[in-house]
Amino acid sequence: MFKPKTLGLWANTDKSNFWEILPKIMDWSNKKNIQIHVTEKIYLHKKFMFGNVPKIDSNGKISEMDFMLVLGGDGTFLSCARAVRHQNTPILGIHLGDLGFLAKVTLENIFQRLDQVAQGNFLIEKRSMVKASIKKDEKKLTLYGLNDFVVSSGESHRMLISEVFVNSNRVSEYRSDGLIISTPTGSTAYSLSSGGPIVAPDVGSLVITPISAHSLTSRPLVVSDKATIEIRFSNYNQNILFITDGQLHDTLKPKHTVLITNSNFEIGLIDFKDSDYFQTLRTKMGWGTRGDGNR
């Protein structure tokens, strides 16, 4: 049973309740003899009053942590996951609002769950990440996401024409506002709101979901996570927006080609025996509840 001795703190510093809970987390770590390291963003914030705490001043330092404690929403969790990438440091997400799909622990039970982690009473749930390789003129851009990649017509609001190939086999020419390529983790995010399926986290797959397709026959497609998805824009004449996890934005030209595959590493999420993915789904999706009009 592994009992952690160090943790890295990653947070949404714009949330006032983070600063309210921070002193309690510091007290807890002192009592449990677990050394906290904080990101530079936290350390340099005017509200941070713990000058003797070591900093995480590079992504490489994350590998020295026994786990990362992330306080914020799912967006904060996603940014941490991209920083962790292949470094095998598991992540525990504390949602500062309602229950999240990634940050599963709420402030109500934060110290109950932290005590379990300190005792080594936790599980590691593996989640796949997705990799994009973009041939961009003389350069090759490589990006990683935990949720999804999106190609979009952006501010031009024109119909995007995307030709999609899977393992070099032509699938279709999608005429839509854009395409989402999501992992099972990302299937409950933008893909879901665009009509894509919910995929359980342990199903090895990638989901191709058109955004506002201009044809009723353009449907979401689930492919193996061993597949290579290629996207071309040769019949398009405007710049294309490429978005990673809804947070990082790049601009592509129609001559650029996008190759999307599963990455060769996984992210570890700290989980607990009594956690239930489908309970989270029921709570977030409102399954099994009756609408106001049916009362």
Closest CA to 208 of 13, 91, 227: 227
- What ranges make up the beta strands (E) of the chain? 6-11, 35-39, 55-56, 67-72, 91-95, 105-106, 123-136, 139-145, 148-152, 160-166, 169-176, 178-182, 205-211, 221-224, 229-232, 240-244, 248-252, 257-271
Please give the Cα distance from 24 to 34 (Å, whole number): 13
Cα dihedral 235→132→184→18 (10° resolution): -120
Strands 257-271 and 229-232: antiparallel
Strands 148-152 and 169-176: unpaired
Number of other CB atoms surrounding residue 131 within 10 Å: 17
Place of tokens 């990799």: 131
What's the token pair of residue 11?
Answer: 């947070």
Which of 14, 27, 66, 74 is catalytic? The answer is: 74
74 is catalytic: yes
Place of tokens 């999420």: 269
Please give the Cα distance from 295 to 280 (Å, whole number): 24
Catalytic residues, by residue number, are: 74
